[in-house]
Copies of this chain bind each other. A is one copy, B any other.
Amino acid sequence: MINVSIIGTGNIAYHFSNVFLKHHNINLIEVCGRRKNIPSYFSSRVNYCDDVSKISKSDIYMICVSDDQIEIISNKIKASSKSLILHCSGSTDMKALSNYCNYGVLYPLQTFSVEKNINFKKIPIIIEGNSKDSLNKIENLASKLSENVLKASSKQRLAIHVSAVFANNFTNYMRVVADEILKSNDIDPEILNPLTFETSDKLKYLNSKEAQTGPALRKDINTLKKHLNLLKGSSYHKIYETISNEIKKINYEL
């Protein structure tokens, strides 16, 4: 049985608490946050503490706070020399935790919202440890959560995080723009759902370069002009132009 505590009460802390509560070989000791009370979306079975300097003893402390708070918060934990301190950030160097004897990273490559349940088993988990012993312990924990565990350096993890920003945050933003264009033309954005689904489903059969279509790839100048004309005066004009210019380059590279 592994004893684990979570520091933080945001989206990732919430999803970790749920997967830990469900697992027979993991014992969720405590969730710790700055707020006086734990947010209501957490399970009532969770013990809560509002002062990180008073956190209960645990085998593993998972720091699930914003990147710029990781180093500050971690240094308040009074952990024994046997404990393992982990953060779960994509872009923070493991060394942010180097005040401790045993430390590392357990970064789940997924987008988390409290409102949406997730099957942890399929989420790739990227791990890194300060020693062979730490890495073994992290791998042991990660493999209880997911079937897809990958060791990577802090630099590789940063590259994975940037790529995830493109693949998730930026793709989602493209849909935000699409929805706004439709709404301003009195069309229900839900009309795009089959297209959005197909766009991601296609990647099971084709790689992203093969799946690329559209007027920029075809260098269809007339259509590009019509689209830019429709977007004139909005901030979407620049985005359309920037991305289309990049897509035009794809053909040459293939």
Q: Name A's B-contacting residues (CB within 8 A).
A: 11, 66-68, 91, 109-113, 115-116, 118, 122-124, 148, 150, 152, 155-156, 158-179, 181-182, 184-187, 189, 191-200, 202-218, 220, 222-223, 226-227, 230-231, 235-236, 238-240, 242-243, 246-247, 249-250
Question: With A158-B230, A218-B66, A230-B159 known to touch, is A124 a contact of B172 (CB < 8 Å)?
Answer: no
Complex-state Cα separation, A123 to B196, whole angstroms? 11
B160 x A187 contact (CB < 8 A)? yes
Chain B residues near A235 (CB, 8 Å)? 246, 249
Q: Is the CB of A226 within 8 A of B172?
A: no
B91 x A212 contact (CB < 8 A): no
Whether B227 contacts A173 by the Cβ 8 Å rule is no
- A210 CB contacts on chain B under 8 angstroms: 113, 115
Report chain B residues within 8 Å CB of A175: 166-167, 171, 203, 208, 211
**Which of B91, B164, B211 lies in contact with A113, CB distance below 8 A?**
B211
Q: Within the oligomer, what is the number of copies of this chain? A: 2
The 4 closest A-B pairs by CB, nearest first: A169-B214, A163-B178, A159-B185, A171-B171
CB closest chain-B residue, reference A93: B226
Are B167 and A192 in touch, CB under 8 angstroms?
yes
A-B residue pairs in contact (CB < 8 Å), sample of 17: A115-B205, A115-B210, A124-B191, A158-B226, A159-B185, A162-B240, A163-B178, A163-B179, A163-B192, A166-B178, A168-B198, A171-B199, A172-B213, A173-B208, A176-B208, A179-B208, A197-B200
User: Taking the nearest CB of chain B, how far is it from the CB of A94, in angstroms?
Assistant: 14
Partner of A205 from the list B11, B116, B159, B163 (CB cut-off 8 Å) is B116
Known A-B contacts: A109-B195, A118-B198, A163-B179. Give 5 more (CB < 8 A): A165-B216, A165-B227, A169-B214, A175-B208, A189-B208
User: Which residues from chain B contact A166 at a C-beta distance below 8 Å?
Assistant: 174-175, 177-178, 181, 236, 240
- Residue in chain B with minimal CB distance to A209: B176
> Contacts of A170 on B, CB cut-off 8 Å?
171, 174, 239, 243, 247
